[in-house]
Every structure is written in structure tokens, then in C-alpha cells.
Structure 1
Amino acid sequence: MGWITSVRQPGESDRTHFERELFEYSNHTIVQSATVENVFYAAVRTKGTGKVWALVVPMVKAGGAKFRYRDLMETDGPSEAKAPAAVLKALSPTTDEKALRWRERCRKR
């Protein structure tokens, strides 16, 4: 997936920004999150199923309040793998091989 350019509201946290930007009109909610080295990691609950999966959002500043990001699911096998333990603990069990390998890489960091 390509990079998206966005504008952050003054004083807006990463979590608040991505809740608004990605999930405002969806059936998903962020239950745990953290930003590590310009990557936003979130445990996201799908309201219909109750399953919790990982969202990985690398970010790059683009000047002023602008920045670029790309949103990935753990099932994409992102190269960014520094999700903190609190985010990993909030995730539902999975059988997806890419997600399992990504979670293991995070635990080994």
C-alpha cells in the first residue's frame, strides 16, 4: 500500500488522530496503543466479532503539521516489529502465519 499524506490537529495524539482518520465511521476501536520510533502500534477490536488484531502505522514528517503514513495489518507481515508487550497482550489468538511471525519478531526485540 502507498503512503497517505495527512494533517494532524494541534495537540492531537497519535491514537486520537488515527481513531479519527481510520476508524471514525467503522466498526473498529483501538483498545491499546503506543508509538515507538515513529511507528504507531495499536490493538484494534472489530466490534462485530470482538477479535483484536494489530495495526502498524509507520509515519514520516512532511513539514509543519503534515506527515505521511501507511497503515498495515499484522497479517501483511510488516517489517516494523517493535510493538510493546501491552499491545501484543491485547491481541486475540490467530492462526495467520504472517501475523504469528510478526508477533514473534516483536517479542524478540
Structure 2
Amino acid sequence: MTHHLNAEMKACIDECLSCYATCLSTATGYCLEMGGEHTQKEHFTLMLACAEICRTSAHFMLIGSPHHTHVCRECAEICSECSDDCERIGDMQECVDACRRCAESCRRMAA
């Protein structure tokens, strides 16, 4: 059985994969270099969780799992929390923007 991805789902997969890469590289590169508030456990764990849920959401959509709606709903919530926390700490606008785009796209997939 072959499933076909519509344009909105393809866009969401792209946003999820972009956010995954951005959060992971920001956390393991920039945040580790900066230290301080950037590496506090709560923030650092949130960034890694965000990266992982984004990767997982893309995976669920790519394999055509009907459960992608549940995963996308959680992804939107975690991305929103991550964007707010990155904005609060500051100097991570690329991560803030990627998380917000992904959250919005995942909200549409979860609807």
C-alpha cells in the first residue's frame, strides 16, 4: 500500500526536519559553548526533547501512520514551549523562529 503525502503534510515534514536540525545544532553547538543559562538542565533538556519530537513527527508522517495527529499535537506544544524559552534566554532567534514555524505547521496537522 502506498500513501500519498499532500502538500500541507510535505510542508510540515520539512518544518519538522528543519526544526530538528536547528534545535539539535543550537543545543549541542551554541548552547554548550555559551554555558550558563543556556546549559541549565531544564532548558537544555527542553531543546533536546524538542529536536526529538520534531524528528519523530516527521517520521510518523513519512511512514503514513494515522497516529501522526497525536504526535504532531505534542510536537506543537513542545515547540511552543521551546521557542518561548529560547526567546526568554535570548540570542537564539533562529531556534525561536524554527520552533514557531514547526508548531504552527504541526497544529494544522493535528486538527
TM-score (norm 2): 0.27
Q: Comparing both chains, which one has the higher relative contact order based on Cα–Cα distances under 8 Å and sequence gaps of 6 or more? A: 2
TM-score (norm 1): 0.28
The structure with the greater share of residues assigned to strand is 1
